[in-house]
Chains A and B, each alone.
Chain A
Amino acid sequence: MEAFLHQLVSGLAAGGIYASLALALVMIYQSTHHINFAQGEMAMFSTYLAWTLLQAGLPYWVAFAATLGISCAAGMLIERVLIRPVEKAPVLTVVITFIALLVIFNSVAGWVFTHTVKVFPSPFGAGLLPRNPFMSPHEFGSIVVTLAVLVLLYAFFRFTPLGLAMRAAALNPVSARLSGIRVGRMLALGWGLAAAIGAVAGMMVAPVVYLDPNMMAGILLYAFAAALLGGIDNPLGAVVGGFVVGVVENLMGAYVIGTELKLTVALVLILGVLLFKPAGLFGRAVVTRV
């Protein structure tokens, strides 16, 4: 029983990691209706930026805030320069653009920061959680951070005029434009926010899995599964999906299929959701009029 409890909690901890990246994916989808294949690599690159700032001597939370700011700006820039031109292009072109970004971020990170594995510090000291065998202070802290980001996002979209404008721009760009909303600016902002959320995800993940250019490679697929499971346009769904994926993956690995086929679990999950309930658990089913 204790072992089961351990696996469960372990799964929640892993799920927290997937949830934070899934949030960034959902953010981009909500504002642009695109699936950003490069999200993991962007998050990894932001984490390297944070690491550089920390190496330069900045205190943790200052570096954290600075990284968020830089990532947000960079995300907006990418949207303007690289994504905007292909907005109306065939989907294949868009996918190729994302893949190009993925590949560029990955190789430039390796080039600039070398491939040596680096240690990334955790801001959550032992005081956060009494010493117990189930969950470390960092795992607890990152789950709290993920939930905090979720709440902030929810509040932003629900209660602020800017959030409302973004939702309008994503839902119906033509009408939104007619109402005076600068749709282009909303798209850029969407990307900026997603990049910032990705940076948070990266900085929460790195202390656990250690920082190297391929850090997100193992996580990206689970994050996709999580986002799809919860509903690709629903932030709450992404977080719930993340925890579900983490727990399921852990339990299946420990008790059912062994640890050797975990990625296949993710594959089956993705296929299953896409085929049987494409809207996910919490998403809205979209009906296309012919």
Chain B
Amino acid sequence: MARVLVNVALKPEILDPQGRAVMGALGRLGLSGVADVRQGKQFVLTIDGDVDDEKLAQIHEIASTLLSNPVIEDFTVEVRP
């Protein structure tokens, strides 16, 4: 069993109103010195067996066609044992 984390975030040039709203709230809660907040998503895939290269390639494909919208989002893939 392995876990694969796919982190999806809006591309830097895309407006992130949710991140901005969170940033406003941090200020109201007394946390100062926060330069920026971006809100993203994390998908945790629990995979039977090991994650070999073929599986990893499949996951990358899924990440770019389903889990993220490449027009506005970037993603990273991380394997956890």
- A and B bind: no
What residues of chain A have their CB less than 8 Å away from a CB belonging to chain B?
none
